[in-house]
Amino acid sequence: MEHSTHHSGTAHHHSAPAGGHGRHGTTWATAMRATLHCLTGCAVGEILGMVVGTALMWGNAPTMVLAIALAFVFGYSFTLFAVVRAGVSMKTAVKVALAADTVSIAVMELVDNGIVALVPGAMDAHLSDGLFWYTLLGGFAVAFVITTPVNKWMIGRGKGHAVVHAYH
């Protein structure tokens, strides 16, 4: 998903009128778009890690470590490439991606992997098992619901994805 399309336009109001929008255009829609953007990168990385680890018949721990690492890599890369396309240096883009996505990715990974770990049999399910996919996708859905208010709170304070808005 192109970064510039996951927000409602490129201009954001930094001094919104009363009504709960905060000084960074912190509507629920903005928070949901930021969360969906982050979740997309996380999901790509995590699914890739799970598929690779499972296909190589690795144990649960190394597969989960790979999946989490790739979730961060892909989550950051979506923001990184969008900011670089906006004309920012790679060094600055890395700083922006880290500032924009670290908390969001961490919360998503904690929730999603916690669900996978807690669902009986999910850790031992194979790629061909419905339980594997239902648990993973259900974990993503719950992570989205839990992470959206976190992102709304962060954007409202000029943190998280609000940092990216300066480069649009």
Residue at token pair 């009986």: 120
Q: Are 39 and 108 in contact (CB under 8 A)?
A: yes
CA gyration radius for the chain?
Answer: 17
Cβ atoms of 70 and 49 closer than 8 Å: yes
What's the length of the chain?
168
- Cα–Cα distance for residue pair 23/15, rounded to 1 Å: 5
Q: Say what angle helices 60-85 and 28-55 make with each other, to 10 degrees.
A: 130
As a whole number, the mean pLDDT across the chain is 83
% of the chain beyond a pLDDT of 70: 83
List pLDDT tens digits, range 42-101. 999 999 998 899 889 899 899 999 999 999 999 999 889 888 988 989 999 999 899 989
From the list 143, 125, 104, the residue with the least C-alpha distance to 51 is 125
Name the 3-class secondary structure at 8.
coil
pLDDT band at 2 (very low <50, low <70, confident <90, very high): very low
pLDDT at 17 over 80: no
Is the pLDDT score of 5 beyond 50?
Answer: no
- What's the pTM value of the predicted model, to 2 decimals? 0.80
